[in-house]
Amino acid sequence: MNNLSWPATIILGIVLGLIAGAAENAGVGQNEPSASASESPSATPDSGSGGGSGGGETNPDTGGSTEANTVTLTFDDGPHPVYTQQVLKLLEEHDAIAVFCMVGQRAREHPEVVRQVVDAGHALCNHTDSHDEQLSGRTREQIERQIGETDEALDAAVGGDTEVRWFRQPGTYVQPQVRAVLDDDELEPLDWTVDPRDWSRPGSASIVQDVLGQVEPGSVILLHDGGGDRSQTVAALDQILTGLDAAGYRYVLPGDP
């Protein structure tokens, strides 16, 4: 937060102080990526199992700037007919843009939600067709199918009105064998730097505390608008956006200044 101005730092400190008490009993501190999630596939994590537990891993493909006071918001596992709409409403209220990493099967079920996301000015990201968390172990043909069918589902939903530029691998940072396919498809890998593990439903106060406590210029924040009950994420999002606004952050797409 070294780039923050004095007033922004103070305001963020106040926001953090206000929520700290509420978060104390809500499992704060479970930020480390874990590969041992036991939740059902419909509520699975995007926590990195690809060696990210050391905390010092470089993560060059997040695309975030380290210069400007910017942050990238990402929402995974949608589209969802209820939670995606609630997220869109909050983003609009805070004049924020985000990247939505969508599952192909869900895009075919709710194409109208995909359309709403794009119409609101947000960007799409390919998150495989079936949220395949074993993607790294698949054949190249299977990986291509997971990515290709999602691409077709998103294209069909929006009528080709937007270009899908990013890919996020379910459950992990993008792995080398998947990256090779991305290069052919002209997709960019999209990882993350801030993971409040909202999918595990730790309480909205914990989600807020983790995000505002860890955010720094260039952060890529991982949240979920699908894959289960996301009411805690929605409840946290208003406070997160209020805190980021107060700290002077601008919302950008990956790689944008």
Q: Which 84-143 residues touch Zn ion, going by CB under 5 A?
A: none
77 binding Zn ion? (CB under 5 A): yes
Nearest residue (CB) to Zn ion, 61 versus 76? 76
Q: How far apart are the first and last CA of the chain?
A: 17
Dihedral sign, Cα of residue 196, residue 44, residue 33, residue 3? negative
Residue nearest Zn ion, Cβ-based:
76
Residues numbered 155 to 174 that lie near Zn ion (CB under 5 A) are 170
Window contacting Zn ion (CB under 5 A); options: 68-76, 156-164, 176-184, 240-248: 68-76
76 makes contact with Zn ion (CB under 5 A): yes
Q: Contact, 118 vs 142, CB < 8 A?
A: no
| Residue 76 annotated among the catalytic residues of the structure | yes
Q: Which of 12, 46, 91, 166 binds Zn ion (CB under 5 A)?
A: 46
Determine which one of 76, 77, 151, 198 is catalytic. 76
198 part of the active site: no
By beta-carbon proximity to Zn ion, the closer residue of 32 and 93 is 32
Q: 210-241 b/e with 16+ CB inside 10 Å = b? A: bbbbebbbbbbbbbbbbbbebebbbbbbbbbb
- How many of the other CB atoms lie within 10 Å of CB of 176? 8
203 in contact with Zn ion (CB under 5 A): no
Residue 60's contacts (CB-CB under 8 Å, 6 or more residues apart) are none
Active site residues: 76, 224
**Residues near Zn ion, by CB under 5 A:** 46, 76-77, 170
